[in-house]
């Protein structure tokens, strides 16, 4: 497991080192699963959109549909 007690997981994330962040994530997750793009959705949901904010929003919406978190109980 990890050297981080659950009671300390409220510590400010930004001040932690990469190794400490990795240990915290390993404390709560077994794995992250990225599923294939759902049928009927474009491979590049942002496509040719010139507005980076709208393109990012569409890409994130598709990503949210694809990602599963296998959490530790």
What was the pLDDT predicted at 28? 93
Sign of CA dihedral 22, 24, 27, 33: negative
Q: Enumerate residues 6+ apart whose C-beta is below 8 A from 21.
A: 13
Is pLDDT of 39 > 90?
no
**Strand, coil or helix: 41:** coil
Residue ranges of E strands in 1-73: 29-34, 67-71
Is pLDDT of 33 > 90?
yes
Q: Which residues pair with 67 in a beta bridge?
A: 34
Is pLDDT of 59 > 60?
yes
pLDDT confidence bin for 10, thresholds 50/70/90: low
On the 0-12 / 13-18 / 19+ scale of CB atoms within 10 A, 64 is exposed
């Amino acid at each position: 497991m990890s050297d981080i007690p659950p009671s300390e997981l409220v510590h400010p994330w930004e001040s932690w080192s990469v190794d400490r962040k990795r240990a915290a994530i390993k404390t709560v997750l077994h794995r992250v699963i990225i599923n294939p793009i759902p049928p009927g959705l474009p491979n590049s949901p942002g496509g040719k959109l010139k507005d980076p904010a709208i393109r990012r929003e569409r890409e994130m919406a598709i990503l949210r549909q694809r990602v599963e978190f296998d959490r530790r109980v």
